[in-house]
C-alpha cells in the first residue's frame, strides 16, 4: 500500500483515483452485446467457452443439480445462511410503506402506491469467490416486494458446475430459474433475451469492471439496473482510538475480493498508520487469497491527514462503497458523511457483518457512485405510481387554475379538456 502524508487538497483527486474506468472496457462490451443480440444462445455459448473454458449443451440448472447441491452443503453453513436470511428479511420487511393518500383541494384526491417490478434478473458472481450471500441480498427483498419473475445468472466453473452454496441459497429463496452464464454475455442475454435467457426489466448484482460496464451498456437498451456496482472498495477512517489489528483485518477483507478491489485508510494518527501497515503485512501472510489481496493492495492507500474535518471532506470526495468509522467523534462523523454506500461504526462493527448477516444489504454503489446512488433496499424492486380522482366539486375548485396555466403555455387542447367538463356541469345547473 502506498503511504501518503498530509496531501494537499489539489492532490486528492489523483490520490483517490480508482484502478480502472468504463471506457477501458467499452469496446469489448459493445462487441459482445451486438453478437448476443444477433445470435442469441450461439453467442452465449461462444463466450462461455472463451471466458469460462467450458462448453455446455444446456445452460439451465436442472432439478437434479439443485437436489445434489442441497446434499453437499454442510449443516453448519445451512444454519448460518438461515440466520442471515432471517436478519435480511427482518430489516427489509421493516422498509415497507403504506399507500399515501392526500386530498390536495376539496374534491381532489391524490395517492401514491408502490408496485413490484415484474421481471427481475439477478447476477451472482462466481469465479474465485462464489458469492452465495448476494443471492440472499437480492432474492429476499425481491420476494418481499412481490416481483413476479425472478431469474438468476451465475458463471459455471470449468467442469460446468455451479457452487453448491449458490444453488442451495437460490433454492431456499424460491428461485426456480437458474442459468449457468456469467460476465458480459449474461448481462447481454438478460438485456435482449435469448431462447434460454428471458429478457428482464431490471438487472441486479455486483461484479467486476466488465460486469459493471455491461450493466451500464444495458441501460442504453431500456433495461434498468440497480446501480453501477463494480469491484469492491472500502475506506476506513481511524483516529488514535482505533484498534490497528481490527483496521488491518477490515482492509484485507475487501482486498481479498479481487485484484481490482481498492482499500483506503485515512487517519489522523501517525501511530495508527504505522501499526496498521505492520498488521497488514502480518495478517496478509496467513491469507489463502494472499496473491489476490497483494494485487489489490497495489491500488490501495494509507493516508495521514491533518484533521477530522479534512478527513470528512476527503471521504465525501471519494464516496466509498463501504465506510468504516473507528473514532471518538463517531456522532459528528455520522452527521457529516453524506457520500457512502454503507457505514460501519465502531471497533466492533466489521464490514463483513454487512456482507453476510447483520441485515443491511451488501449490494452497493462503487466507483464514486455513492454520490448519487443508493444501495439496494426494498424500494429498489418497486416502482411508485401516482393516482388521482377528482369529483365534480374538485374540478370546479381547480378547473380555472388549469385553464389559465394551459392557455399561458399555448396548449389549447389541455384547456379544452377542463373547459368542456366545467361547461357540462354548468349546463346541468
Q: Quick one: average pLDDT of 104-115? A: 98
Instruction: Decide yes or no: CATH 3.40.50.1980 for domain 23-97+116-229.
Output: yes
pLDDT reading at 22 higher than 70: no
User: How much is the pLDDT for 208?
Assistant: 80
* pLDDT exceeds cutoff 80 at 274: yes
CATH 1.20.5.1300 spans which residues of the chain?
391-428
User: How many whole angstroms separate alpha carbon 290 and alpha carbon 295?
Assistant: 9
pLDDT at site 258: 84
Q: By the 8 A CB rule, do 155 and 186 touch?
A: yes
CA 13/CA 21 separation, integer angstroms: 14
The CATH architecture one would assign to domain 2-18+231-359 is 3-Layer(aba) Sandwich (3.40)
What confidence score (pLDDT) does residue 25 get?
Answer: 80
Q: Is the pLDDT of residue 21 over 70?
A: no
> Which value, in Å, is the radius of gyration of the alpha carbons in the chain?
26
- Inform me whether the pLDDT recorded for 96 exceeds 70: yes
C-alpha cell at 286: 496467513
Confirm whether residue 322 is marked as ligand binding: yes
The response to whether 414 counts as a known ligand-binding position is: yes
Per the CB < 8 A criterion, the answer to whether 81 and 171 are in contact is no
Nearest to 127 by CA among 207, 65, 57, 71: 207
Indicate the pTM of the whole model: 0.93
The three grid cell numbers given for residue 56, joined into one nine-digit string: 455446455
| CATH class of the region 391-428 | mainly alpha
| CB contact at 8 A, 204 and 121 | yes
* Residue keyed to cell 459455471: 156
Residue 162, pLDDT score: 96
Is 377 known to be catalytic? no
Percent with pLDDT over 90 in the chain: 90
| Burial (0-12, 13-18, 19+ Cβ within 10 Å), 350 | middle
The predicted-structure confidence for 163-217, as pLDDT tens digits, reads as follows 999 999 999 999 989 999 999 999 999 999 999 999 999 999 988 888 989 999 9
Residue 161 has pLDDT above 70, yes or no: yes
Distance (Å, rounded) from C-alpha 38 to C-alpha 194? Answer: 10
User: How confident is the model at residue 24, as a pLDDT?
Assistant: 65
The position carrying cell 402506491 is 113
Poorest-confidence range of 33-47, 61-75, 84-98, 223-237?
223-237
Q: Answer yes or no: is 118 a known binding residue.
A: no
pLDDT for 392 = 97
Q: Which three cell numbers stand for residue 17?
A: 483515483
Q: What average pLDDT does the segment 383-399 reach?
A: 98
From the candidates 233, 279, 321, 351, give the one annotated as an active-site residue: 321
Determine if residue 159 is labeled as part of a ligand binding site. Answer: no
Q: Which three cell numbers stand for residue 391?
A: 369529483
Residue 144 grid coordinates: 418481499
CA atoms within 13 A on the CB side of 149: 12
d(CA 345, CA 360): 13
- Grid cell, residue 122, equals 439477478
Domain with CATH 3.40.50.1980 in the chain: 2-18+231-359, 23-97+116-229
* Predicted confidence (pLDDT) per residue in 132-147, tens digit: 999 999 999 999 999 9
The pLDDT of residue 23: 57
Starting at the earlier edge strand, list the strands of the sheet with 224-225: 177-180, 149-154, 119-123, 202-204, 224-225
Annotation marks residue 322 as catalytic = yes
What is the grid cell recorded at 397? Answer: 375548485
Annotated binding residue at 233? no
Task: Give yes or no for residue 129 having a pLDDT over 80.
Answer: no
355 in a known ligand binding site: yes
The reply to whether 348 sits in an annotated binding site is no
pLDDT tens for 301-336 read: 999 999 999 999 999 999 999 999 999 999 999 999
**Total residues belonging to the chain:** 429
- The answer to whether 185 is a known ligand-binding residue is yes
pLDDT for the residue 114: 98
Share of the chain above pLDDT 70, in %: 98
Cβ proximity of 238 and 230 under 8 Å: no
3-state secondary structure the chain: CEEEECCCHHHHHHHCCCCCCHHHCHHHHHHHHHHHHHHCHHHHHHHHHHHHCCCCCCCECCHHHHHHHHHHCCHHHHHHHHHHHHHHHHHHHCCCCCCEEEEEECCEEEEEEEEECCEEEEECCCCCCCCHHHHHHHHHHHHHHCCCEEEEEECCCCCCCCCHHHHHHHHHCCCCEEEECCHHHHHHHHHHCCCCCCCCCEEECCCCHHHHHHHHHHHHHCCEECCCCCCCEEEEEECCCCCHHHHHHHHHHHHCCCCCCEEEEEECCHHHHHHHHHHHHHHHCCCCCHHHHHHHHCCCEEEECCCHHHHHHHHHHHCCCEEEEECCCHHHHHHHCCCCCEEEECCCCCHHHHHHCCCCCCCCCCCCHHHCCCCCCHHHHEEEEEEEEECHHHHHHHHHHHHHHHHHCCCHHHHHHHHHHHHHHHHHC
Residue of 92, 322, 351, 362 with catalytic role: 322
Amino acid at each position: 500500500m502506498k503511504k501518503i502524508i498530509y496531501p494537499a487538497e489539489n492532490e486528492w483527486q489523483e490520490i483517490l483515483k480508482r484502478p480502472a474506468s468504463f471506457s477501458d472496457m467499452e469496446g469489448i462490451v459493445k462487441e459482445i452485446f451486438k453478437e448476443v443480440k444477433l445470435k442469441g444462445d450461439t453467442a452465449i455459448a461462444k463466450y462461455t467457452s472463451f471466458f469460462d473454458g467450458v462448453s455446455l449443451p444446456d445452460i439451465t440448472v436442472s432439478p437434479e443439480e439443485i437436489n445434489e447441491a442441497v446434499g453437499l452443503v454442510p449443516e453448519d453453513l445451512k444454519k448460518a445462511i438461515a440466520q442471515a436470511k432471517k436478519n435480511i428479511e427482518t430489516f427489509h420487511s421493516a422498509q415497507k410503506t403504506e399507500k399515501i393518500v392526500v386530498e390536495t383541494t376539496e374534491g381532489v384526491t391524490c395517492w401514491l402506491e408502490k408496485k413490484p417490478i415484474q421481471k427481475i434478473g439477478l447476477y451472482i458472481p462466481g469465479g474465485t469467490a462464489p458469492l452465495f450471500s448476494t443471492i440472499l441480498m437480492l432474492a429476499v427483498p425481491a420476494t418481499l416486494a412481490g416481483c413476479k419473475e425472478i431469474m438468476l445468472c451465475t458463471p459455471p466453473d470449468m467442469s460446468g458446475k455451479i457452487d453448491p452454496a449458490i444453488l442451495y441459497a437460490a433454492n431456499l429463496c424460491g428461485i426456480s430459474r437458474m442459468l449457468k452464464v456469467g460476465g458480459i454475455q449474461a448481462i447481454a442475454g438478460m438485456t435482449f433475451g435469448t431462447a434460454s435467457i428471458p429478457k428482464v426489466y431490471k438487472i441486479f448484482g455486483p461484479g467486476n469492471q466488465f460486469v459493471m460496464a455491461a450493466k451500464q451498456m444495458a441501460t442504453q437498451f431500456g433495461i434498468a439496473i440497480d446501480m453501477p456496482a463494480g469491484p469492491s472498495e472500502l475506506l476506513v477512517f481511524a483516529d488514535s482510538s482505533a484498534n490497528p489489528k481490527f483496521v488491518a483485518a477490515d482492509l484485507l477483507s475487501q482486498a481479498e475480493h479481487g485484484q481490482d478491489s481498492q482499500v483506503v485508510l485515512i487517519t489522523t494518527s501517525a501511530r495508527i498508520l504505522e501499526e496498521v501497515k505492520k498488521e497488514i503485512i502480518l495478517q496478509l501472510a496467513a491469507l489463502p487469497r494472499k496473491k489476490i489481496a497483494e494485487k489489490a493492495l497495489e491500488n490501495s492507500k494509507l493516508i495521514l491527514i491533518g484533521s477530522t474535518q479534512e478527513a470528512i471532506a476527503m471521504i465525501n470526495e471519494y464516496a466509498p462503497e463501504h465506510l468504516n468509522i473507528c473514532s471518538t467523534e463517531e456522532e459528528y462523523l455520522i452527521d457529516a458523511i453524506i457520500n457512502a454506500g454503507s457505514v460501519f461504526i465502531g471497533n466492533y462493527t466489521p464490514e463483513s457483518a454487512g456482507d453476510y448477516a447483520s441485515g443491511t444489504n451488501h449490494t452497493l454503489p462503487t466507483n464514486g457512485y455513492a454520490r448519487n446512488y443508493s444501495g439496494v433496499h426494498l424500494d429498489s424492486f418497486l416502482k411508485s405510481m401516482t393516482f388521482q380522482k377528482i369529483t365534480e366539486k374538485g374540478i370546479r375548485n381547480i378547473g380555472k387554475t388549469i385553464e389559465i396555466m394551459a392557455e399561458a403555455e399555448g396548449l389549447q387542447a389541455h384547456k379544452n379538456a377542463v373547459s368542456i367538463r366545467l361547461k357540462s356541469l354548468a349546463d346541468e345547473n
